[in-house]
Amino acid sequence: MKAAIIRDSIVINIAKIDDVSFAESQGWIVSDTARIGDLYENGEFITPEPEPTPVPSSISRRQAKQQLAIDGFLSSVQPAIDAIEDPAQQQFIQIYWDDATTFERDNKELVSLAEALGLSSEQLDEMFIKASRL
């Protein structure tokens, strides 16, 4: 049997117990389902929603290329650049792709390249989050 140890309405620890009366005398709440980090409100344990992962403002070239490879887009980058019809935009994106040491999430060339690859803004955000962990 287990008991939740609560401080300021948050489960801070779980104790294995043999004696319910001892646990209750300590102010612990007997529960086999409570988890550390749960909230305890009105006699119920509530698992809070996880905080959203912030999108990094930039990632390294290595991280970007590795994540593109993982997601199956790396081999599509050059054909996507080659397919851009505006020569000036194509050149700027090619230079960015070839020479950037970091990729900034809000860089207009990166956003254009992502669009050329068929990636939505949300997909690009997710790629940045995953790449930042590599």
Percent with pLDDT over 90 in the chain: 98
CA–CA separation, 73 and 66 (whole Å): 10
Judge whether 68 and 54 are in contact, CB under 8 Å: no
59-114 pLDDT tens trace:
999 999 999 999 999 999 999 999 999 999 999 999 999 999 999 999 999 999 99
Above 90 in pLDDT, residue 16? yes
- Mean pLDDT score, 106-126: 95
Above 90 in pLDDT, residue 3? yes
- Determine the pLDDT at residue 51: 86
Q: Where are the beta strands (DSSP E) in the chain?
A: 2-7, 10-16, 29-30, 39-41, 44-46, 58-60, 102-104
- Determine the pLDDT at residue 44: 94
What the block records as the tokens of 19 is 């004696």
Above 90 in pLDDT, residue 50? no
Say whether pTM exceeds 0.75.
Answer: no
